[in-house]
Structure 1
């Protein structure tokens, strides 16, 4: 796991702000927007951090997603501003610290699941929240924990 740096925090804040703005500015549901964003060309620019070389703002990001996929009014469920900010922040923090692409992170945890975790996890440190999400999915990426898990499996097999 990579330690987050200043650039990573800037990326988290920019993505979180774009997600939050989408509540008022996008016609589609929050889940549709998130799916489109996480698989978009602009998300690739977040992944390789080239977005930091521009002065792009949250509203510009929304416009780029609309240009890529077309304007849509599909779906009606809108998440709250706070939920969307947190979801955007967590997705980017996850991608940066685990060095994954946006589609990879999206595949691991869907927006509906993150929304359900908002209340219990939103006051936690993002790294701790992500660790708990991975733990619940039995996807620990921490090497020590993985070795411990494998050792427990070995012990169970040996005792049979």
Structure 2
């Protein structure tokens, strides 16, 4: 049976890890937002475009589920991408009541630039990591994600 001290240590350890992960996530998003400013794209919009380009999903509902976004916020974000001419909504060929999202020609045109931006951000963030450290980080992240 776990002692109270042991349980407190576990909770503090988890809380410390939680704070580190949250801080790293925020720092990556901040760096990506700065990098994407020249393209007039936000990190949140970047995620949508990349997921559409990689055919991970094609509907607002699926994007919400994949990214854990609020449907209302996602709809507003997609609307902004539509106004920028990067995304379009179409009737689903499989279900006439369903709407799918697709990148426009402009969306496909900006996609390689988005990949350059994230590559640059990650290269900067990992510049002081050895190849072994980078590989270990990937391995640990894959292990973490396999539990989700």
TM-score class, shorter:
under 0.3
Q: TM-score, normalized by length of structure 2?
A: 0.21
Q: TM-score, normalized by length of structure 1?
A: 0.20
Decide which structure has greater strand share.
Answer: 2
Higher RCO (C-alpha under 8 Å, 6+ residues apart) = 1
Q: Which one has the largest radius of gyration?
A: 2
